[in-house]
Amino acid sequence: MSALEILLWVVVPYVSLAIFVVGHYWRYKYDKFGWTTRSSQLYESRLLRWGSPLFHFGILFVLIGHVMGLGIPKSWTDAAGLSEDAYHALAIGVGAIAGFGTLVGLAILIYRRRTVGPVFSATTRNDKFMYLVLTVTILFGLSNTVLGAVGHEGVDYRDTVSPWFRSIFYFDPQPELMTEAGLGFQLHALSALVLFAIWPFTRLVHVFSAPLGYFTRPYIVYRSRDEQLGNRATPRGWDRVGGGRR
């Protein structure tokens, strides 16, 4: 095992994941009010209406694909009776459509961000760098899928990349597996690790702020000076907010 192998496939992943976790904690603690998508819908919505759903639905399916491809060992899908060919046909079909959707969506979003003045002005330096790393990661990922689909002489990522990825979380890293994986997968994984390290300092934090309260909150909050709202008992979810004089 070489020093470079250990650096790239053990040190970099753990440093990246540590920054990801501690960085989110730090950002939440010290920049709670900056924890936002930095929405720009007010400035422009025509391009956003196409770019945003394409990107977000695309990336959702890419995520589901990664959870399956990286998280589920090959032996499990074999045991479930899913043949190798059927697995790859499914992964390449769904993966390529989802990947292209994501890429086209992202291209529209970046074009919009660059050409619509107020949107560009509202883009932080960190976010500009994040768009670059995100684009590169998606391009490398998609090129791996496409090369796999046209049958290039490659290694099966479920024998190399996936067990390496899981080994990181078992705290039993196996860097040599990534050396076998080939350059395309190596570049994709490395750019993803850079993305994870910068994630907490960009607008990507919004991924972890699902507005779950929206399902249960009243659709509008009325405030009244009176203790009693009308002559009926206060319905559930409409309790007074805070105390003292309003």
- Based on CB atoms, which residue is closest to ligand HEM, 51 or 95? 95
Closest approach of ligand HEM to the CB of residue 28, in Å: 21
Please state, in angstroms and rounded to a whole number, the distance separating the CA atoms of residues 135 and 102.
Answer: 10
Other C-beta atoms lying within 10 Å of the C-beta of residue 7 = 12
Which positions touch ligand HEM (CB under 6 A)?
Answer: 62, 65-66, 69-70, 91-92, 95, 98-99, 102, 134, 137-138, 141-142, 144-145, 148, 157, 161, 165, 185, 188-189, 192-193, 195
For the CB of residue 196, give the shortest distance to ligand HEM in the complex, in Å. 7
DSSP state for residue 217 in the 8-state scheme: S
Assess contact for 163 and 174: CB atoms under 8 A. yes
What DSSP designation does 40 have? -
Nearer to ligand HEM among residue 141 and residue 173 (C-beta):
141
Alpha-carbon dihedral 184, 185, 189, 191, rounded to 10 degrees:
10
Nearer to ligand HEM, 109 or 189 (CB): 189
CA distance 153 to 187: 18
Q: Which is nearer to ligand HEM, 52 or 229 (CB)?
A: 52
Minimum separation from the CB atom of position 130 to ligand HEM (A) = 10
Minimum distance, C-beta of residue 103 to ligand HEM, in the bound complex (Å): 7
DSSP-derived secondary structure letter, 7: I
CB 189, min distance to ligand HEM, A: 4
Alpha carbons 191 and 140: distance in angstroms, whole number: 9
148 vs 200, which CB is nearer to ligand HEM? 148
